[in-house]
Amino acid sequence: MAVYNDLNRILKRESNGSVTVNVPNLGEYILPNKVNKDKLFKSILPIYVEVNRGAVHIGSRDLPIILVADFSGMKVLYTTENASSIYDYYMTVLNVNLIKPVVNIRSNADHINYRKNDINNYLNNKKSFSEKVKYIFTLKFLFKSNKKNKNSSTENNIKKTTWTGLPRYQNNYKGNDNKDEKSEYARVSTLITADELILSMYTDVPGPVPPLNSEYFEESQKNLPEWRIDIKLFSSQINYGPWTDRNRTLLQYFFYPLSFRDMEIVRPPISGQLRVAPAMKLFIVFEEKTTFRVPTKEPSKDNLWRNKNENDIKKTKKDKSNEQSVRPYAWLNVNFNEGSHIYYELPSFILEDGYEGKLDVNLINVQVTTSIDYATFLHGSQLKINATIPAPLEWNKKRTMPFDIQLLETKIYLINDHIQLITDLIADWSDMEPIENEYFVPTIYDINITFKEFSILLCINECNIIDQLNDLEQNSYLILSGDILDVNVNLPFTVFNPIYTCIPFKVSSKNSPLTLGISLPKSHTIGANINKESTIAGTIKNFELEGDYSFHSVYNPEYIDSMNLNIMASDISFKIFGYLIKYFMFIADNYFGSYGSFTTVSEYREKLNSKHHENNINTNPINAFDMNILIQGENIEAYLPESLYTYKDYITVKTKLLEVEIRGTDQFQDIQINTNPVMIFNKNCSNDFLYIDDLAIYGHRMFGPMPYKLVYGSDWRFNIGSVIGEVHPSYIISIYNFLETFLYHFDDFDNSILEIPVLNDFMSLQLMIKKIDLSIWGKGSTTIVYLKNGFNLQLDNTINVHYCNRIFLDFPYIGIYLLTLADNNKEVESSFPWTEVASIDTNISLCIYLKSSNWKEFYDKQTSYIRQQDRLTKRMTFIYENIENDNYDGSNVDENEKIFGYVPVLVPPFRVTKQGYKETNSNKQNFELLPIFIQIPISDSISASLNSYENKNENESNEYYEFRLKYL
């Protein structure tokens, strides 16, 4: 009955009094270091053991794997020393020195699953039923041995004399690998290799707690017993990845299973009870250089290997023999130098809030390399990790684990392949057997990463062609640098098996300025001529980013994953060189666009020679994705350089507020830019200015089907408010010099790889200016250009039988006034009176139509391209819906391509002609001569000078003349 009560108490976790150890009343307190305790035990110490070669394995027949540690030599010393304080009796010390240790995870040959396989194999043989039953119940399958030829008895005797140990301890042992294990191509069985491993364990034999009124009590609470394990690794390599972690969990929970029950409170001992070490401390020190490798699978490349295997079926055996049959795994190496250490502390006491374990990692001179390019991906002088691992009393209570990571003097060479590798690593690590709801523990991981004195290099090579990643003499980089950058990521795993998860994050410079620079190789014409001052592209004094990433754990065509970014910056200054704008476009291509994976020069040439490299890609369906970005900038200055390579003469553009909103989906992208007011100054003309009270830019781009998402339609609209300014002619020359320099750098013909392709998409543009009031000052004269109602520009590239491009210009009112000072006041520009010497009041409406002799070819390409890309959304049917002999069946759409979200229909700024294509036999010139019709109202002041024209209108106050011009 007593046994039953004890089991009942244990299962119900009922308290059975204090868990501390009581000692008899000692009367007057005596310091433990003066007591000779355990004389017999200490008399047989020290104990020294030396082993030339050995191995240790940890496992069970119930586990599919075992942990095997073999070594070339071992020295063990067990002794006693003085206690760490006078309040304990003595300290036991265990020193273990292993020479050439190798720790492996191997398949378990004695695993009971394999024995079951032997039973099944025997039962499938042609034996009688009685023989099968006898085989099972006599347990012969447990002692099964292979039959050997009688003639091989001599060879067996020779092998017995040269026995080298059980196969499981040997490095070439493969075990009985099953098919599931073979599918783990990222399996690295070797866990640790080192030249030497020294393990030291220090344990104080505690004395009693002094009486509360004793003079020793307070001091004893400051010098608590020691329980510490020190491990030193010399020239070691550690392999630990998702596969190793899954097997570690298997071993750990087998020998130390979780109770899934609430913990009991364990308080510190009181007077008269034996002292207890406050925590178990583990200290790992790495001597000499160490490599920590994280092997992982690459789910993102499964389709490429699947396509490769499909192509291999067609190859001959001779071709296959020359290729690698096993898929290589990806890896991430963390190299660090001597002096690095890991410290872990596990408390002994459990209070009302449970307990908190502490983890501190300090790595010196960190270098991270990857399997992508074998070059250094990250370099830092020091890496610090501080983590707190809480354990509440309630075993399934929600808990938050904070991780504080610091990287000092960090330089990161970042390409999109690195981001994809980290994503694959996270996906592989989370790919484990699902747990049941009864065992789920809600956990929040609060990760804070701080970069100090950092530089992030973004590769901006065209087409993402990289031969050597870290070579600054071969590659072009945009460099983001600063003194501090703080990144916070919150991982809320608080719901069991969630379909939808939202991960918030935040990035802040903490009022520390950020600098954006550019690095170009000397072989680059701009890099060879640009000065050092021009390599600084811009600065941001304060930067903050808040966002969240939401995703679904399963695929569903109706599910939409999303990312929201809210970017706030202030005190921004940047230079607008043409090549900088072009390289920002390369960032979009290399990190978010069609050149996401880098290629070498030879690989790029092979792609150019391959005709079907895009059509053979087989991709799995993924959830739709939305991207929402909101950018707010305050106190912005932009500098417009007038020269090619120097930052000497420039135009300054200032604005108080800039707002940019971007929404991108798999089908379209919307861009809205607003700013007001805008002031434009010239460095060399301090009194000149242009003032724009409002500026709004709207862009809408349409994408084709996945996975390429090609742009096949775009609509851009520019709305500019009132433009007021007073400038000198030199100011206009400066603007012209900037535009000429900008276009030259943007084209960058000397360094470009690709020619500008002929686009078959649709593009429309509308530019509206509300009002223009511009004064151009000269010496003693001024010219006033006044557009009371501004002007409107519209154009598009619709191709039909009548035209290939069309441009509309409308000036509702144009006023030009020429003023000069009176003769006696010419020396003072601001004096009065001014005399008007000439003026023009008119308006202009201009229509320009362009047509090429190859219009039919252009028309066929445009309609075919747009119709193919528009087959899912039907947003641009006005381009191709009236085509004669149209046999295209738009209803034949793949089930995975169907779109369930909202997709807006394109509304052009003006009506597009819906005239179908008709064959014509007329022979056209290269470009036809098309008329341009201009209507100009002539004011009364100059109508008298036009009396010679025969087509003068009878109405003298409002006369119109039509000019018929020819466009070549």
Structure tokens at 219: 């001091």
Interval 950-966 mean pLDDT: 36
Mean pLDDT rounded to a whole number for the chain: 79
The least confident of 436-445, 641-650, 856-865 is 641-650
Q: Which helix (H) or strand (E) holds 49?
A: strand 47-51
Residue 840, pLDDT above cutoff 80: yes
509 within 8 A of 544, measured Cβ to Cβ: yes
CB atoms within 10 A of CB 136: 12
**What does pTM read for this prediction?**
0.79
Residue 879, pLDDT above cutoff 50: yes
b/e map 338-374, b = 16+ CB within 10 Å: eebbbebbebeebeeebbbbebebbbebbbbbbbbbe
SS (H, E, C) 881-938: CCCCCCCCCCCCCCHHHCCCCCCCCCCCCCCCCCCCCCCCCCCCCCECCEEEEEEEEE
The least confident of 417-426, 428-437, 779-788 is 428-437
pLDDT in the model for residue 150: 42
Q: Which amino acid is at 906?
A: L
Residue closest to 651 by CA, chosen among 737, 570, 724: 737
pLDDT digits (tens, 9 = 90+) for 711-767: 888 899 999 999 999 988 888 888 888 899 888 888 888 888 766 566 688 888 999
**Distance between alpha carbon 506 and the CA centroid of its chain, in Å?**
14
pLDDT digits (tens, 9 = 90+) for 502-532: 999 999 998 899 999 999 888 888 888 888 8
| Contacts (Cβ under 8 Å, ≥6 apart) of 687 | 726
The least confident of 360-374, 637-651, 936-950 is 936-950
pLDDT digits (tens, 9 = 90+) for 525-580: 888 888 888 888 899 999 999 999 998 888 888 888 999 999 999 999 988 888 88
Alpha-carbon dihedral angle through residues 212, 217, 220, 221, given to the nearest 10 degrees: 60
Structure tokens at 882: 């009236």
More reliable by pLDDT, 540 or 889: 540
pLDDT in the model for residue 508: 94
Residue closest to 720 by CA, chosen among 779, 626, 816, 790: 790
Alpha-carbon dihedral angle through residues 462, 468, 469, 472, given to the nearest 10 degrees: -80
| Contacts (Cβ under 8 Å, ≥6 apart) of 96 | 74, 75, 76, 197, 198, 199, 200
CB atoms within 10 A of CB 305: 13
Whole-angstrom distance, CA of residue 419 vs CA of residue 542: 26
More reliable by pLDDT, 177 or 414: 414
> Can you list the positions of beta strands (E) in 226-339?
227-234, 237-239, 279-287, 290-296, 330-336
Interval 693-710 mean pLDDT: 86
Residue 336, pLDDT above cutoff 90: yes
Interval 484-507 mean pLDDT: 91
pLDDT digits (tens, 9 = 90+) for 657-680: 999 999 988 888 899 999 988 999
Residue carrying structure tokens 């378990």: 108
Query: Residue 914's pLDDT band (boundaries 50, 70, 90)?
Result: very low
Interval 343-364 mean pLDDT: 94
DSSP state of 354: B
